[in-house]
Amino acid sequence: MPDLFEIALILAIALIVVGPERLPEVMRTVGKILRELRLASNTVLHELTDVLEEPPAKTPASAPKSETPAIKPTENK
């Protein structure tokens, strides 16, 4: 987790690069992007968890083999 000094340094650099007029707009955009990424990652995590925790599907019991007689070749007369 970044400490207070790192956050202040990033904000100071952003203020210099972007300027004070556009900084609030850029920060809102970055916040929205981070929120969307977090929601997407949580969705993927929940879907994977659901799939991995799902009990294995029961395989149907093997059907009994049919008692059909084997086809015998016909004799030529």
Rg value, the chain, Cα:
33
pLDDT value of residue 53 = 85
**Domain regions of the chain by residue span:** 21-53
Residue 65 has pLDDT above 90, yes or no: no
Residue that wins the pLDDT comparison between 71 and 49: 49
Convert the pLDDT of each residue in 40-64 to its tens digit.
Answer: 999 999 999 988 887 777 766 665 5
- 26: burial class by Cβ within 10 Å (0-12, 13-18, 19+)? middle
pLDDT value of residue 52 = 86
